[in-house]
Amino acid sequence: MSIPKKLGGLIRQSGLPDWPEQFRMSMERGLEQRVRLAVTGLSRSGKTVFISSLAHHLLQSDQGRSLPFFVAASEGRIIGTRDLSTASATPFPLQQSLTGLQTSPPHWPDSTEALSEIRLALRYRRKPGLGRALGEHSTLYLDLIDYPGEWLLDLPMLTLSFEQWCKQQQALFASAPRAEAAADWISCQHEVDWLAPASESQRQRLAEHYRSLLQQLREPPHNLSLLQPGRLLMPAELAGSSLLDLFPIIRNWPEEPENADPSSLFTQLQQAYNEYCEQVVRPFYQNHFRHFDRQIVLVDCLKTLNSGEACFNDMQLALTTLLHSFQYGHNSLLRRLFRPRINRVLFAATKADHVTANQHHNLDQFLRLMIETAQREMRFEQVDTRCLALSSLRATEAAQARLDGQHLSCLRGHRKDTGEEIALFPGEVPIELPRAEDWNSDRFRFVDFAPRPLPVGPLKPEHHIRLDQAIEYLLGDLF
Ligand SMILES: Nc1nc2c(ncn2[C@@H]2O[C@H](COP(=O)(O)OP(=O)(O)OP(=O)(O)O)[C@@H](O)[C@H]2O)c(=O)[nH]1
Ligand SMILES: [Mg+2]
């Protein structure tokens, strides 16, 4: 999406791109500003629901009712809002998401299959003080993109050669549960002479086998995240393309690859890998993932507790690897002048409505354990970070039950799989990493809920959990 003409004109006339960032930012702030918020999350982590809910609440923020901790809204300083996404060639399907949540029975949005973008304009009254000298009113343009979570994990491939990628996959496939699930596919690789002449159909057959293996690893009971290439799982416009006949060599790595026949599987795969990185991943990264100012990283911690240690370790590795693809911190002056960098990151444990309110603090803590390494690296770059459990759209309500004369905090809602209404005690979220025996028991069984119907009219604070705190942290200082 381009900057509105008027704003672009103002920024160009004032020569802003050539000025040091602090100065440029305060000048832009004096005029109108554009904020690009990266919504980062693995597949099914809650990106589409978060963007839908964020947009829906912000578009009502001039009424100041549903976001009490978003100070500009609660002070009544948001004076008008607009969704400008229709100007985009690929607008985010906000209305479709909301209609699904407002119908009876309501349903969650479908898994995302293509990239889309949304731009919101928030017109606000400045706080009393110096800034008022620049005019009483200003506008903040907020840009977000939504995309299939599977594609995100392709970004780290850009820093790896084919050989490095194969070695990395080899290490992953050496341990459970990949090793067992992939036993057949691995044994096929034992028989292959990678350097000998080969047909394309041979490569297609092995790639097809690999694709179904990735699908299997993505689903329960494995629920793994670090599955590459992501387009094999969510191909969109590349469905059927030979670029996707791609898989890593993890057995019999050839001794002298330079002697490979031009038609060999080795040559074909290496070429396919390089083309995939250059023609698919790099344009996606360059067009959509380089320039962000703020970031929210959505993490489905409860899924890892349900699925076990391998799922936890895999998601942790996927997130840490992935976050290296973003640019953080303030760094050198030159870099600051030409590239915006992410200077504030919120790690959010999504679906906090799957646990009772007294467990939200534990969920914050568990998330902190999970993203410890990534958070430490960001702090080194002087990036502000915070961990927060939230629910973009609250699907449950609090209930009380009595057991052996004691009051228990419970949840009431409709199961996602059957639609049946249930009241349950979902259990506690650990604040330390579970020991091996705890992972293996049935200690954690957090149930997925269907959404509650979203009203067509005004929203209220009870429609989310801490979404307003997330907005205040990510954007509050800009109003
Ligand atoms: N209870 C509850 N469930 C949620 C919430 N947000 C997401 N979910 C659940 O998580 C599922 C996935 O959410 P999405 O927003 O579609 O996830 P995504 O990250 O966009 O997934 P992909 O498009 O596949 O990458 C939904 O179908 C819901 O079951 C929430 O705030 N509360
Ligand atoms: Mg989605």
- pLDDT tens sequence across 29-38: 556 789 999 9
Do 277 and 305 reside in the same domain of the chain? Answer: no
Last residue of a domain, one of 221, 253, 285: 285
pLDDT of residue 471: 98
- The Cα 140–Cα 144 span in angstroms is 13
Report CA(169)–ligand 2 centroid distance (Å).
26
Q: How far is the CA of 28 from the centre of ligand 1 (A)?
A: 35
Residue 20: the pLDDT is 56
pLDDT value of residue 191 = 85
Per-residue confidence (pLDDT) for residue 9, from 0 to 100: 40
Question: To test ligand 1's pocket by mutation, which of 40, 48, 150, 223 has the most ligand atoms within 8 angstroms of CB?
Answer: 48
141 and 227 both lie in a single domain: no
Which pLDDT belongs to residue 271? Answer: 96
Distance 387 CA to ligand 2 centre (A): 22
Q: How many Å apart are CA 124 and CA 136, to the nearest integer?
A: 9
| 253 shares a domain with 173 | yes
Q: What's the number of domains the chain is made of?
A: 3
Asked if 177 and 252 sit in the same domain, the reply is: yes
Identify the residue with better confidence: 19 or 405: 405
- Output the pLDDT for position 10: 39
pLDDT of residue 339: 59
| C-alpha 478: how far from chain center | 23
What percent of the chain lies above the pLDDT cut of 70?
Answer: 90
Which structural domain range is residue 331 located in? 5-151+290-392+455-478
As a dihedral over the C-alpha atoms of residue 315, residue 320, residue 326, residue 331, rounded to 10 degrees, the angle is 160
Residue 448 within a domain: no
Q: Is 353 in the pocket of ligand 1 (CB under 6 A)?
A: yes
What is residue 328's three-state secondary structure?
A: strand
Q: Are residues 80 and 102 in the same domain?
A: yes
**pLDDT confidence of residue 337:** 56
Residue 446 lies in a domain: no
> Is ligand 1 within 6 A of the CB of residue 112?
yes
pLDDT of residue 27: 56
CA of 351 to the centre of ligand 1 (A): 8
Under the banding of pLDDT at 50, 70 and 90, the label for residue 429 is very high
Report d(CA 367, CA 325) in Å as an integer: 20
Over residues 288-312, mean pLDDT: 93
SS3 label, residue 211: helix
Whether residues 351 and 474 share a domain: the answer is yes
Two structure tokens written together for 344: 């504030």
Q: What is the pLDDT of residues 114-153, one digit of tens each?
A: 999 999 999 999 988 766 767 789 999 999 999 999 999 9
Phi, psi of 154 (to 5 degrees): -80, -25
The radius of gyration computed from the CA coordinates of the chain, to the nearest angstrom, equals: 24
Looking at the domain assignment, is residue 305 inside a domain? yes
Is 167 touching ligand 1 by the criterion CB < 6 Å?
A: no
Give me the mean pLDDT over the 7-16 stretch.
Answer: 39
- Pocket lining: 395 vs ligand 1, CB cutoff 6 Å: yes
Angle at 73 between CA 97 and CA 450, to 5 degrees: 30
Give the residue, 9 or 52, on which the prediction is more confident: 52
More confident residue, 95 or 328: 95
pLDDT digits (tens, 9 = 90+) for 266-279: 999 999 999 999 99
d(CA 52, CA 469): 17
Shared-domain flag, residues 365 and 421: no
Number of residues written out for the chain: 479
Are residues 299 and 269 part of one domain? no
CATH code for the domain in which residue 352 is found: 3.40.50.300
Q: Is the dihedral of CA 449, 455, 458, 460 positive or negative?
A: negative
Q: Per 3-state DSSP, what percentage of the chain is helix, strand, and coil (rounded to 5)? A: 45, 15, 35
**Are 161 and 277 found together in one domain?**
yes
Q: What average pLDDT does range 224-242 have in this prediction? A: 95
Same domain, 310 and 229: no
Handedness of CA 172, 178, 180, 183 (dihedral sign): negative
Q: Each residue of 72-106: pLDDT tens digit?
A: 999 999 999 999 998 899 999 999 999 999 999 99
Residue 450, domain member (yes or no): no
Residue 468, pLDDT above cutoff 60: yes
Is the model's pLDDT at 332 over the cut of 80? Answer: no
pTM, whole model, 2 decimals? 0.91
